[in-house]
Chains A and B, each alone.
Chain A
Amino acid sequence: MTYIVQTSGLTKTFKGQEVVSNVSMHIRKGEIYGFLGPNGAGKTTVMKMLTSLVKPTSGEINILGHKLTNQSYEILGKIGSMIEYPIFYENLTANENLNLHCEYMGYHNKAKIQEVLDMVNLKNIDSKPVKTFSLGMKQRLGIARAILTKPDLLILDEPINGLDPIGIKEIRNLFQVLSKEYGMTLLISSHILNEVEQIADTIGVIRDGRLVEEVSMESVRGRNTEYIELVTPNQLRACFVLEHELQIANFKILNDKTIRIYDAEASQTAISKALILNDIEIESMNKKHTSLEDYFLSLINGNAASAQGGGDAC
């Protein structure tokens, strides 16, 4: 297995407080790695350590086959990043900023500048200084700058912040293109779980500075997470019917009115028929599946197992 990024026991302490604890993450070549965690969980600090902006207190980082040290400068040329928020020389135009970036990176194909601006769909910005840009525009420009030199590894911290829904869709597609067509490896942090769910190949969940889970989306999707959600004012009787008439044991009571049925064999038609025959009113009944959000939230709360459903008896 080729890992582009591998950390072991990565720890960062600020003023005696561990903000990142013993993080061992593994990012495979060419994949999109979604980095999930609530605010203050340590995502940005980990990303800053990967880009050498923050020095680890202990632990090791291996990037693109090299151990990252205080003197690892060359490797930074193969990493594109946008961490925390897009930072630019605000009085310069987008073009001037990207030109400067090329010069510092030692990248001479300046024709690429227009190409990346087109890729992120940033238009009519010719002579405007960056300080006049909206957050969404800066975000697009930040992504353009990060991908300008075709890095092997792209590290983006909350890249869709400030983008409108159309912008989010465009950038999502761009990430897929960068991963699939350009072979870039992407590490993307976000708190918008739906977004990560749609694009990531692997997710890493960080809580209180600890990486609590690192799992491929394929295996998350493969889990038995489909269920039928039934809303009825007569919950007790409904439970009785489910258990004794339909022999369904794998269900869970969510609140006074809602029941989740996890039994894969249970058909919606059979359930509704049995309930109606027993004069049990149905307010709604829908087939759903546990989203990454549920899974993620359960990880944050520290009970991953329950997210996959389990039958609570009435």
Chain B
Amino acid sequence: MLNLLKIEMKKMKLGWYVRGAVFANFIILGFLWMVTFTEGKDTFQKIDETFLVIGTFVRAVFIIFGAVLISKLIISEFKNKTILVMFTYPINRKKLLAAKLLIAAGLTFITILISNACVAAAFFLLNSIYGVIPGELTASMVSQQALKMIVFAFGAAGTSLVPIFFGMRKHSAAATIISSVVISMLISSTSPDFSISSIVYIPLSLAAVGLIFSFLAVRRIEKIDVF
């Protein structure tokens, strides 16, 4: 399995993903800072809220990135017919698909964690210079937020697998990515009074759905005909 993960990662060439992720981080940071700086103290009342908005943005973006990974790793193999070659290898089809899904979810999890930490760190660094958001960032606050980030990142990584269901139906990259955009929009709705994205059960439930869809896709793969 480990070897399979290595081959798949090598084949995919991760450079585009890393570059895309770094670029996305700058965009998220720039956008949030611009809004905060121009709107002033009206934007974020508290540090907690700031963390929430940063996390929501990062997860929304990287759930879509996750769908791009699924599309590149799995859907395109069907679309370009390279799956016809892959399935003639002495490799268990289930293992192969599971490895690809693991890469997509794993990368999404790691990227969300790193991005969340980086964007938050950069944001509060800027805030320490310009002092736009009131309040002080304490160590306990940071450790509490770090724990939240991990749980939410796990939820988001699982959620990023949901589009496999839509993508595999007609082997469509567009369906995969559009479904991820819709999911991202749904789980990221936020208003000053209430925010769906603050309810951890929603991404965790969606993660369960993503895992069920992945399990079904893996279970089915051994029996399907490929043309």
Where the two chains meet, the residues of A that have a C-beta atom closer than 8 Å to any C-beta of B are 48, 51-55, 70-71, 73-77, 79, 81, 83-84, 87-90, 100-101, 103-106
Closest 8 CB pairs of A and B: A77-B90, A104-B89, A54-B225, A76-B90, A103-B7, A73-B90, A70-B222, A87-B81
Given A53-B226, A54-B225, A71-B222; A89-B88 close (CB under 8 Å):
no
Contact of B7 among A73, A76, A88, A104 (CB under 8 A): A104
Please tell me if the beta carbons of B226 and A54 are within 8 angstroms of each other in the complex: yes
Please tell me if the beta carbons of B91 and A73 are within 8 angstroms of each other in the complex: yes
**Shortest beta-carbon distance, A310 to chain B, in Å?**
43
Given A53-B226, A54-B225, A100-B7; A106-B90 close (CB under 8 Å):
yes
Where the two chains meet, the residues of B that have a C-beta atom closer than 8 Å to any C-beta of A are 7, 11, 80-82, 84-93, 222-227
**Chain B residue at minimal CB-CB distance from A74:** B90
Please tell me if the beta carbons of B223 and A73 are within 8 angstroms of each other in the complex: no
Please tell me if the beta carbons of A52 and B87 are within 8 angstroms of each other in the complex: yes
Please tell me if the beta carbons of A87 and B84 are within 8 angstroms of each other in the complex: yes
Please tell me if the beta carbons of A104 and B86 are within 8 angstroms of each other in the complex: yes
Please tell me if the beta carbons of A89 and B90 are within 8 angstroms of each other in the complex: no
Enumerate 17 A-B pairs (CB-CB under 8 Å) in ascending A order: A48-B225, A51-B88, A52-B87, A53-B225, A53-B226, A55-B225, A70-B222, A74-B90, A76-B89, A76-B90, A87-B80, A88-B82, A89-B80, A90-B80, A101-B85, A104-B89, A106-B90
**Chain A residue at minimal CB-CB distance from B85:** A87
CA distance A287 to B62 in the complex (A): 76
Question: Would you call the interface of chain A mostly helix, strand, loop, or mixed?
Answer: loop
Q: Please give, as numbers and ranges, the residues of chain A lying within 8 Å of B82 by CB-CB distance.
A: 87-89
**Chain B residue at minimal CB-CB distance from A89:** B82
11 additional A-B residue pairs with CB within 8 Å, beyond A53-B84, A54-B226, A100-B11: A51-B88, A53-B88, A70-B222, A71-B92, A73-B90, A76-B89, A77-B90, A84-B84, A90-B80, A101-B85, A106-B90
CA distance A67 to B225 in the complex (A): 18
CA distance A53 to B84 in the complex (A): 7
Q: Please give, as numbers and ranges, the residues of chain B lying within 8 Å of A73 by CB-CB distance.
A: 90-93
**Shortest beta-carbon distance, A150 to chain B, in Å?**
14
**Shortest beta-carbon distance, A73 to chain B, in Å?**
5
CA distance A97 to B90 in the complex (A): 17
Q: Which of the listed residues B11, B85, B91, B92 has the most CB atoms from chain A within 10 Å of its own CB?
A: B85
**Shortest beta-carbon distance, B109 to chain A, in Å?**
26
**Chain A residue at minimal CB-CB distance from B92:** A73
CA distance A51 to B222 in the complex (A): 13
**Shortest beta-carbon distance, A149 to chain B, in Å?**
10
Q: Which of the listed residues B11, B90, B224 has the most CB atoms from chain A within 10 Å of its own CB?
A: B90
Q: Please give, as numbers and ranges, the residues of chain B lying within 8 Å of A105 by CB-CB distance.
A: 89-90
Please tell me if the beta carbons of A55 and B223 are within 8 angstroms of each other in the complex: yes
Q: Please give, as numbers and ranges, the residues of chain B lying within 8 Å of A53 by CB-CB distance.
A: 84, 87-88, 225-226
Q: Which of the listed residues A73, A84, A88, A105 has the most CB atoms from chain B within 10 Å of its own CB?
A: A73
Q: Please give, as numbers and ranges, the residues of chain B lying within 8 Å of A101 by CB-CB distance.
A: 85
Please tell me if the beta carbons of B90 and A75 are within 8 angstroms of each other in the complex: yes
Q: Please give, as numbers and ranges, the residues of chain B lying within 8 Å of A51 by CB-CB distance.
A: 88
**Chain B residue at minimal CB-CB distance from A83:** B84
**Chain B residue at minimal CB-CB distance from A79:** B88
Please tell me if the beta carbons of A81 and B222 are within 8 angstroms of each other in the complex: no
